[in-house]
C-alpha cells in the first residue's frame, strides 16, 4: 500500500490539480479500498467544462472499482477480506431520513456531493477520483471474473436498472429509447432482456447500428426521418408503451409525450442541462392515462444486481470502454470525454 493518496481535485472550469495526502487510517466501522479504476460520467464533464459551477474544490468520481486493503475491527471478516475486488456504491445517502428509511436511498433528502467531505477525503465530493476511498460496508459490493475497467461500469448500470424497473415495461410491449449514448444503449440491453420490442433513436448512424447489434428491433434517425411517423409504423399504430428519454435536452422531453400510446409511461432519465421548463398537455395525460416518471441514482438493491450481471457475463461492458487514462493524464481524459464522442473514459490509479 502506498504512503500517499493521490486525489484529482477540480477547482473550476479547466482547472484541475493532482494533490497528495496521507493514506487515511481505516476507521473501525469502515473498509479502505484502493481505487484501481474510476469512470468519467457527465457530472465530471460538467464540472470540468464549467456547466456545473461548484464554487469549491471538488474530488468527483463515483464509478469506482478497486480492492480492499484494510478493514476496521468492527467489520464482519466472514464477509470481507483484504484483497477482495470490489466496486464502491454511492456513498452519499444519510440512511437516516424518511426516504432512506424506506429503502429509497437514491432519493435521500441530504444527497448532496457538494456539502459533504467523505471519511478519509480532504475536499467535498464523491471521492472516486482518489487512489483510496474509505467506505461503509453497505456501500461496497464484490465483483469477480471481469476486469476493473468493466467493473467500474457497475454504477451506471445500477442507475439504468433502477430506471427500467421503475418504468416496468411488460413482455411484448414497445419501448422507445431516445438517445443511443452509453445510457441509452444500457437501457437497450436491459429492455431487450425484459422481453420488450425495442426502438432506438439517435442521429449517429454508427450508434444506431450498435443498438441493432444489442437487440433493438428498429432504429430511427430523427435527422433523416419523421420520428412520430416511423414510430407509428413500427408499432402498428399503437405508439410506445414506455419512452425512455436519455438525453439532457428539454425540447426532447417535451416531444416525447407525443410518442406515447394509451396508458404509456415517460421516463425522464437524464438531468436537463441547461434546465428549463417544458409544456405538456394535461388533457392528453388525462385522456390517454399517461404517466410521467423520473429517476436519479440507484440503491443497494440495484447495485448488487448490477455487479452480479457484470461479474457473471450477463451483460458485456467491453464495448463501452472508450479509453483508459493514467491519473496524470486527467486533462486529456476529461477533454476527450467532453467531445461527446465517447461512451466511457476511465481513469487508472
Query: pLDDT digits over 140-154, tens only?
Result: 999 999 999 999 999
Return the SS3 of 219.
strand
DSSP 151: H
Q: Mean per-residue pLDDT for 217-234? A: 98
Query: pLDDT digits over 243-292, tens only?
Result: 999 999 999 999 999 999 999 999 999 989 889 999 999 999 999 999 99
For residue 310, which of 79, 153, 137 has the smallest C-alpha distance?
A: 153
Tell me what pLDDT residue 92 has.
Answer: 84
The average confidence (pLDDT) of the chain is 96
Tell me what pLDDT residue 345 has.
Answer: 98
Q: In this predicted structure, which of 111-115, 146-150, 258-262, 339-343 has the lowest mean pLDDT? A: 111-115
User: Model-level pTM?
Assistant: 0.96
Q: Residue 3: is its pLDDT beyond 90? A: no
Q: Determine what percent of the chain falls in helix, strand and coil, rounding each to the nearest 5.
A: 30, 25, 40
Q: Residue 339: is its pLDDT beyond 80? A: yes
Query: pLDDT digits over 72-87, tens only?
Result: 999 999 999 999 999 9
The domains of the chain, with CATH numbers, are 4-153+317-348 (3.90.180.10), 158-294 (3.40.50.720)
Q: How far are the Cα atoms of 92, 95, 157, 260 from residue 298, in angstroms, in the given order?
A: 11, 14, 9, 25
For residue 265, the cross-strand partners are: 242, 291
Question: Which sign does the torsion angle of CA 62, 63, 69, 72 carry?
Answer: positive
Q: In this predicted structure, which of 113-117, 179-183, 205-209 has the lowest mean pLDDT? A: 113-117
Amino acid at each position: 500500500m502506498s504512503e500517499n493518496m493521490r486525489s484529482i481535485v477540480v477547482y473550476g472550469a479547466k482547472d484541475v490539480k493532482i494533490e497528495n495526502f496521507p493514506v487515511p487510517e481505516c476507521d473501525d466501522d469502515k473498509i479502505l479500498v484502493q481505487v484501481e479504476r474510476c469512470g468519467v460520467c457527465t457530472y465530471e464533464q460538467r464540472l470540468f467544462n464549467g456547466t456545473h459551477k461548484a464554487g469549491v474544490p471538488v474530488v468527483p468520481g463515483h464509478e469506482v472499482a478497486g480492492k480492499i486493503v484494510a478493514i476496521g475491527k468492527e467489520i464482519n471478516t466472514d464477509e470481507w477480506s483484504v484483497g477482495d475486488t470490489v466496486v464502491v456504491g454511492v456513498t452519499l445517502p444519510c440512511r437516516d431520513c424518511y426516504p432512506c428509511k424506506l429503502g429509497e436511498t437514491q432519493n435521500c433528502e441530504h444527497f448532496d456531493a457538494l456539502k459533504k467531505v467523505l471519511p478519509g477525503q480532504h475536499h467535498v465530493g464523491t471521492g472516486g477520483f482518489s487512489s483510496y476511498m474509505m467506505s461503509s460496508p453497505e456501500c461496497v459490493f464484490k465483483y469477480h471474473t471481469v476486469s476493473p475497467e468493466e467493473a467500474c461500469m457497475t454504477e451506471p448500470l445500477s442507475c439504468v436498472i433502477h430506471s427500467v424497473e421503475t418504468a416496468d415495461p411488460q413482455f411484448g410491449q414497445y419501448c422507445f429509447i431516445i438517445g443511443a449514448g452509453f445510457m441509452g444503449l444500457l437501457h437497450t440491453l436491459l429492455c431487450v432482456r425484459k422481453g420488450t420490442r425495442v426502438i432506438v433513436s439517435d442521429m449517429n448512424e454508427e450508434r444506431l447500428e450498435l443498438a441493432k447489434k444489442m437487440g433493438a428491433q428498429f432504429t430511427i434517425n430523427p435527422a433523416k426521418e419523421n420520428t412520430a411517423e416511423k414510430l407509428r409504423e413500427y408499432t402498428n399504430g399503437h405508439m410506445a408503451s414506455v419512452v425512455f428519454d436519455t438525453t439532457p435536452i428539454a425540447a426532447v422531453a417535451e416531444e416525447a409525450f407525443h410518442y406515447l400510446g394509451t396508458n404509456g409511461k415517460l421516463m425522464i432519465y437524464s438531468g436537463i442541462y441547461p434546465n428549463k421548463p417544458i409544456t405538456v398537455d394535461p388533457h392528453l395525460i388525462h385522456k390517454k392515462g399517461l404517466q410521467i416518471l423520473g429517476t436519479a441514482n440507484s440503491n443497494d438493491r440495484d447495485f448488487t444486481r448490477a455487479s452480479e450481471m457484470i461479474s457473471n457475463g450477463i451483460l458485456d461492458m467491453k464495448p463501452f470502454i472508450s479509453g483508459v487514462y493514467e491519473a496524470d493524464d486527467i486533462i486529456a481524459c476529461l477533454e476527450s470525454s467532453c467531445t461527446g464522442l465517447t461512451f466511457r473514459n476511465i481513469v487508472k490509479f
